[in-house]
Chains A and B, each alone.
Chain A
Amino acid sequence: MSAQTTKGRDFHRLTTAWNIAFHAVAGIFALLCVFPFLFVTIISFTDETTLARNGYQLFPEKWSVEAYTYLFKAGDQLLRSYGVTIMVTVIGTVIGVVFTALFAYAISRHSFKYRNFFAFFAFFTMLFNGGLVPTYIIVTQLLGLKDSIWALILPLAVNAFYIMILRTFFSTMVPDAIIESGKIDGAGEFGIFFKLVLPLSLPGLATIGLFSTLGYWNDWFNALLYINTPNLVPLQSMLMRIENSMQFIMQNSQNASLSVGVLQSMPQDTSRMAMVVLATGPIVFAYPFFQRYFIQGLTVGAVKE
């Protein structure tokens, strides 16, 4: 009630009670999401034997950086992998957003005669695919991308899901009047797209950019398939390789040669957690760059008078 009186006619603001309620719901959910991540970080700094004995603890008896020492043993490999990942992510996201935006914009326009055909053309690929082996043959034999950085970039560049989302953004966010006014001013289709449509669609583009960035950042499977050269192995792939192999060897612990020969040189739980920290840390810092496009003063514009 008090909010109503002090803010006068500002209907756009929530009442204090609702504001508090929203804070509580969003805050508690966010906390539930952050907590495991904090826990992961703590476990990654726990001593391995302590962990095996006591299980996961918020305040471990004994701390240790052993897990990180193990991972950093790879040394320059780790740095190179960061480099590969960043390069792939940046180039891939740029290509991906450009391809996606062009295609999505075209099929969002009523004036485009074949819009439904192309929408279907894209949608169809979301459901049907030929499977791993045919794709592998196209990439390695037809396109000759084996052991090339493009084998990490191209297979993820376009995604029909993003196209469908972005098309919806274009058709709901960009009023027809703007495009018409552009035409009256004599701008071409590309001019309208770049000068008028894109600036209006920044939240949508940022969403696709973010998803695409995360897709590239987290991808490890393409590297498993196409990359043999250690110089081109991205971060997640390097970490997943270790993770998969630990899992595999544990599951085959009955195998005498494997269990005695190999298991002992493998890092354990703490290293897994350290891997998550190493792989996620940098990208979390990149997050705010995108975030400003989808959380910003909704109210600023509304109450400017």
Chain B
Amino acid sequence: MIRKKRSFTVALSLLLAMSIVLSACGGGKNNSEGTAEKPVELIWYTIGTPQKDVDKVMAEVSKYTAEKIGVTVKMSMIDWGDYSQKLQVMTASGEAVDIMFTSSWAFDYVQNARKGAFMQIDDLLKEHGQGIVDTLDPAFLEGSKVDGHNYGIPANKELPAQEVWRFNKQYVDKYKLDTSNVYSLESLEPLLKTIKENEPDVYPFAVDKNQMPYVPYDYVIEKLPMAVSLDTTDYKIVNVLDTPEMKQILNTMHKYYKAGYIPTEAATMDSMTDVQTTGKWFADRATSQPFADNLWSASYGYPVVSTPASDAMIYNWSVMGSMQAISANSKYPEKAMEFLNLLNTDPVLRNMVDSGIEGVHYKKASDNVMENLDESKNYDMPTFSLGNVMLTYLNTTDPTNKWEEFKKFNDAGKPAPLLGFNFDTSKVTTEIASVQNVKEEYWAALMTGTVDPETYLARANDKFKAAGLDKIMAEAQRQLDEWRAANK
């Protein structure tokens, strides 16, 4: 099996071979497994602060799933900040996992799908995941394809992303400001001016280093300046820093910065949480979902209102906000798919995973409404990361039409041009590494308006060019054209 010309690798790896041989013993598949009497155990890694009662709840879950589909579940939670790194090491070393959380923002889905961390599930979905296919908006599965195949199951949640301007209602009311006409960045100006003149302690426009001004473009890679226009017909990839829209926005941001609307140190601020705690801010921009105002207000402890700043568009990254994938080395891929199918279609299982054991962690207030009990502090799970959220029971404080509004929101979303296209960077990794460094050097200063775009933009573009941005764009264009030809 091992060819001769690879003997160098083999020699070097020989030391490791021992370990693999030793650890490989004791595998072995048994066909009679996976029934209610002899269930198989699925190992499930998911993101979130580890909860005390996970094992307890999973024991309950396992009872239910053993009965239904012949599997038991062992869940390991890895905390937010450690998840990507830990899963990276685990998958690279081929550790036994069956199901794992993946997304566009933690343990990168596309990247790891390409590296072979996940099992390709096109056929599994058809055979054992029909429920998922029926439940999900088709855009979810379409948008999460990597090179034409599915490697993960997106959670049924908000599908498009909509940018909004958020306002601290206290100041809107105090100065009787009209937010209904605000849409573009420029239209904010009179409001910011009022606040700047009357409230010296308040940041009129709360911007931090993660700020991305909204421009009507769909980025090929998040925060790298290659994008196609949202209403493109020719699918031409352009340098977004060269577009008139971006130039105008950057000029406006710089004007705001000089006028003192933007925090002086925005370009190095990780977050605005301090300011949000004290409420000393007036406006900022955020990505929204239905009833987000309520959530924000509840979370900050004072009322927040918002108005749209863009259309609701379905992007790759919004589709991949939360997914479950089956590990490439899973011993029971069919069983894993059956389990995921049940998780995304069966309210009993889904709510058990989400809220724990009825009567212990929560109690039911009515058919689909629940109330947390004291014990829920030992089982407080991030709902959005565990599959179909529209099956979960409402809280007593939630509006009764919550999920209907989500469905409406999803239906209204328009697909962005690059939905379903994922750039394969493996031919240009060298250039990407250099371009990333250039981006980090200039991006935050430009986007927060800290520096004058007249001089900085040209400097940044020169450096981007030298780092090989053109080569990356040409490669991306080639792949995009191929993709379009294949998806006509």
Residues on A facing B (Cβ under 8 Å): 48-49, 51-53, 132-134, 136-138, 140-142, 224-225, 228, 230, 241-265, 268-269
Contact of A138 among B19, B210, B272, B277 (CB under 8 A): B19
B380 to chain A: closest residue by CB:
A265
Whether B22 contacts A133 by the Cβ 8 Å rule is no
- A260 near B22 with CB under 8 A, answer no
Closest partner residue, chain B, to A130 (CB atom): B16
Bound Cα distance from A225 to B322, whole angstroms: 24
Closest to B317 in A: A255
Residues on B with beta carbons closer than 8 Å to the beta carbon of A255:
105, 287, 321
Q: Does B95 sit at the interface, judged by CB under 8 A?
A: yes
User: Is A247 within 8 A of B81, CB to CB?
Assistant: yes
Interchain CB contact under 8 A, A261 and B280: no
Q: With A137-B16, A224-B82, A225-B86 given, is the CB distance from A254 to B383 under 8 Å?
A: no
Q: How far does the Cβ of B326 sit from chain A's closest Cβ, in whole Å?
A: 20
Cβ–Cβ contact B271 & A253, under 8 A:
yes
Contact with A along B279-308 (1 / 0, CB 8 A): 010000011110010011001000000000
- The size bracket of the interface on B is 35 or more
Verify A142–B22 contact, CB threshold 8 A: yes
Contact B273 A268 (CB under 8 A): yes
Asked whether any CB of chain A lies closer than 8 Å to the CB of B233, the reply is no
B384 close to A (CB within 8 Å): yes
Distance between Cα atoms of A258 and B80 in the complex (Å): 10
- Residue contact B292 to A140, C-beta cutoff 8 Å: no
Bound complex: CA of A228 vs CA of B22, how far in Å? 22
Pair A263/B50 contact, Cβ less than 8 Å: no
Q: With A250-B271, A256-B289, A257-B157 given, is the CB distance from A245 to B19 under 8 Å?
A: no
B50:A230 contact, CB within 8 angstroms:
yes
A residues near B94, Cβ cutoff 8 Å = 137
Q: Is the CB of B18 within 8 A of A241?
A: no
Bound form: Cα–Cα A253–B288 in Å: 12
Contact A262 B80 (CB under 8 A): yes
- Complex Cα distance, B299 from A251, in Å, reads 18
| CB-based contact B89/A225 at 8 Å | yes
A264 to B301, CA, bound (A): 10
> Can you name 26 A-B residue pairings with CB atoms under 8 Å?
A49-B278, A53-B280, A138-B16, A140-B93, A140-B95, A141-B93, A224-B82, A241-B82, A244-B81, A245-B49, A245-B79, A247-B81, A248-B80, A248-B81, A248-B106, A250-B271, A251-B271, A253-B210, A253-B271, A254-B210, A255-B287, A257-B385, A261-B382, A261-B384, A263-B299, A268-B273
Neighbouring A residues of B382 by C-beta, 8 Å: 257-258, 261-262
Interface contact A53-B383, CB-CB below 8 Å: no
A228 and B76: CB pair below 8 A? yes
Chain B residues, Cβ within 8 Å of A241: 79, 81-82
* B197 interfacial by beta-carbon distance below 8 Å: no
Bound Cα distance from A264 to B273, whole angstroms:
10
Cα–Cα distance between A154 and B423 once the two chains are bound (Å)? 42
Asked if A254 and B81 sit within 8 Å, CB to CB, the answer is no
Report chain A residues within 8 Å CB of B287. Answer: 254-256
Residues on the A chain within 8 Å of B274, using CB: 51-52, 268-269
State the Cβ distance, B397 to closest chain A Cβ, in Å.
14
Q: When chains A and B are docked, how far (Å) is the Cα of A258 from the Cα of B280?
A: 22
Q: Is the CB of A52 within 8 A of B275?
A: yes
A248-B80, A256-B158, A268-B274 given; 5 more Cβ-contact pairs under 8 Å? A53-B280, A225-B86, A253-B208, A256-B289, A260-B296
Contact of B295 among A136, A228, A260 (CB under 8 A): A260
Shortest distance in angstroms between B123's beta carbon and chain A's nearest beta carbon?
30
Partner of B93, one of A133, A244, A261, A269: A133
| In the complex, per-residue mask of B315-354: 1 if CB is within 8 Å of any chain A CB, else 0 | 0000001100000000000000000000000000000000
